[in-house]
Structures are given as C-alpha cells and as structure tokens.
C-alpha cells in the first residue's frame, strides 16, 4: 500500500466516521437510552435506586422488582384485561373494516370519495369529544367498567383507520381474478371470501397488529371507562404513580413488561406494517 493510498483510505474512514457513524450513534443513543436506563433500574436492588449520587451499574442483578410486581400487585390481571381488549378491538375493527373497504375499493357509488375523505377528517377531532358522549352512553347502557365498553370506545379510531388502510390495500391487487370468478358465476360473497380475502391476508394481519398495539397502549379512555376490577395495563401503571409516589421499582419493571409484547409483535410485523403505513399515507 502506498502512502497515498493509505492517506486516501484513512480520509475515507474519517469521513465515514464523522458523517455517518458519529451522528447515527448520537441519535441512536438518544432513542435507546431511556429504555436502557429503565431496564437497568428495574434490575437494581431498591436501595441502589435512591442514592445521592446515581449508581450506574447495579452491584447485583435482581429480579425482585419483577417478582413483587407479578405477585403483589394487580399487574397480571391488568395485562390480561389489556390483552382481551386489544384482541377484541382488532378482530371487531378488522372484520367490519375489511367488508366496508371492499365496497369502497371496488364499487363506484355516490359519495364514495367524499366518504373516504371524511373518514380522514375524523382523525382531526380530539378524543375528548368522543369521551364525554361515550361516557353518558355507557352510563345509560350500564356498561361502564366493563372491559368491552373499551372495545366500543377504541373502534372510534381504529375502524376509520382500518377502512382507510384496507381500501388502499384492496385497490392494489389486480382485478382480473375477481373478474374471472364473476364470469364463472361466483356471487359477491364468494368472490370476496374465496378470491379477495386470501390475497389481502398480509394487509389484514398488518392492520390488525397495528390496531392491537394502539389498543394495548391506550390510556385516556381506559382511565375513564374502567373500574378497579377491569383496569388495563396503562391504567394500572399510572395508578402506581399516585398510590406510592416513588414506587420506581415497580414502575420501571412494569414499563419494561408493558413494552416487550408490543415490541415483539412489531419486530415480526414491521415489514408489512411499514409498507402498509407508507402506501396508505403516500397515496392517501
């Protein structure tokens, strides 16, 4: 290697480090540090959490906080409630959204476009506008405190989103197969369930997971519509702040356990999720 080559090479690396690796690691650090710090805190012995000078690395790694959270609080039942609500919300939303999306994608009728635009507009209303009428409604129906009341509340945002996403998805798939099925005498239901449904399965899974994540993470409706029996994960976590002002041992371990399921779901679904989101918003 000549000196000149070496010089060029090191210049290349210096440039790469300065303009790619350094800024990238800075941003990555910013994104990841809160999680790392929460994780580190959650495995610390409690006495090392509250010290005048912060102890960065715990002397021993302990799962005591997790143990306490799982066996001494309502965490397990609240995680179960969240799971129930999130799963039901995605099933209900996806089922009604896919049927409606098929009609929006394949039939031309008066107000089709206007309606799709209107659905996007719904996104603009702050959730507090739904909150109060739904509260009165659930109160009258006597379902306040029932976990399934939350499912109804969540469909206010997840259904429009599902219709919007799946309409885009169905429009993308070629029309010829449906046409062929029609010529062979299939009716609308047969065409939809036997031809279209298998083709949009990835889209359904992606939209379903996104709705699941949204419902899992929701707090504002949950705190209003649940009672101590039906609390969801987010409500349970935030109640720790008020009941025991400095219960950071439970909060950090609870935070980690709340993130893990949705992060895992996201890892498996990310390809479909991202392409679905991007397609929806670019073509919207």
x-or-dash pattern for another protein, window 124-163, by CB under 8 A?
xxxxxxxxxxxxxx--------------xx-xx--xx--x
Cβ 32 to another protein shortest distance, Å? 7
Q: CA-to-CA distance for 284 and 17, rounded, in angstroms? A: 38
Q: Does 225 interact with another protein (rule: CB under 8 A)?
A: no
Choice from 107, 114, 142, 245 touching another protein (CB under 8 A): 107
Query: By CB under 8 A, what part of segment 21-40 binds another protein?
Result: 23-24, 27-28, 30-32, 34-35, 37-38
Token readout for 254 is 């609870």
Cβ 277 to another protein shortest distance, Å? 7
Is the Cβ of residue 1 or residue 121 nearer to another protein in the bound state? 121
Choice from 4, 57, 142, 267 touching another protein (CB under 8 A): 267
Cβ 60 to another protein shortest distance, Å? 19
11-40 in b/e form (b: 16+ CB < 10 A) is eeeeeeeeeeeeeeeeeeeeeeeeeeebee
Cβ 79 to another protein shortest distance, Å? 12
Q: CA-to-CA distance for 265 and 267, rounded, in angstroms? A: 6
8 A C-beta contact, residue 145 and residue 226 = yes
Is the Cβ of residue 1 or residue 27 nearer to another protein in the bound state? 27
165-193 in b/e form (b: 16+ CB < 10 A) is bbbbbbeeeeeeebeebeeeebeeeebbe
Contacting range for another protein; rule: CB under 8 A; set: 59-67, 83-91, 106-114, 199-207: 106-114
Using CA of residue 137, residue 140, residue 143, residue 144, what is the dihedral sign?
Answer: positive
Choice from 77, 96, 146, 272 touching another protein (CB under 8 A): 96
44 in the Ramachandran plot: left (φ > 0), alpha (ψ -120 to 50) or beta?
Answer: beta
Q: CA-to-CA distance for 284 and 278, rounded, in angstroms? A: 9
∠ CA 127-130-136 to the nearest 5 degrees?
140
Cβ 256 to another protein shortest distance, Å? 9
Residues listed for the chain: 284
Query: By CB under 8 A, what part of segment 167-196 binds another protein?
Result: 171, 175, 178, 182, 187-189, 192
Query: By CB under 8 A, what part of segment 44-73 binds another protein?
Result: 49-51, 53-54
């Amino acid at each position: 290697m000549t000196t000149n080559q070496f010089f060029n090479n090191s210049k290349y690396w210096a440039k790469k480090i300065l303009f790619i690796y350094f800024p990238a690691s800075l941003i990555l650090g910013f994104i990841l540090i809160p999680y790392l710090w929460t994780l580190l805190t959650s495995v610390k012995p409690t006495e090392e959490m509250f010290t005048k000078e912060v102890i960065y690395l715990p002397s021993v790694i302990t799962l005591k906080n997790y143990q306490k959270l799982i066996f001494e609080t309502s965490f397990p039942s609240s995680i179960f409630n969240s799971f129930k609500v999130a799963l039901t919300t995605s099933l209900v939303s996806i089922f009604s959204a896919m049927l409606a999306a098929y009609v929006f994608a394949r039939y031309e009728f008066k107000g089709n476009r206007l309606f799709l635009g209107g659905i996007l507009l719904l996104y603009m209303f702050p959730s507090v506008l739904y909150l109060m009428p739904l509260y009165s409604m659930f109160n009258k129906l006597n379902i306040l405190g029932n976990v399934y009341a939350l499912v109804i509340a969540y469909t206010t945002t997840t259904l429009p989103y599902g219709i919007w996403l799946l309409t885009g998805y169905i429009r993308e798939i070629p029309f010829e197969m449906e046409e062929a099925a029609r010529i062979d005498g299939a009716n609308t239901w047969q065409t939809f369930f036997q031809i279209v449904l298998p083709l949009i399965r990835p889209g359904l899974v992606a939209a379903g997971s996104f709705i699941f994540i949204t419902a899992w993470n929701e707090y504002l409706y949950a705190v209003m519509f649940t009672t101590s029996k039906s609390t969801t994960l987010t409500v349970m976590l935030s109640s720790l702040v008020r009941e025991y002002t400095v219960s950071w041992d439970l909060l950090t371990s609870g935070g980690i356990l709340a993130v893990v399921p949705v992060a895992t779901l996201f890892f498996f679904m990310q390809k479909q999720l991202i392409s679905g989101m991007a397609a929806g918003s670019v073509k919207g």
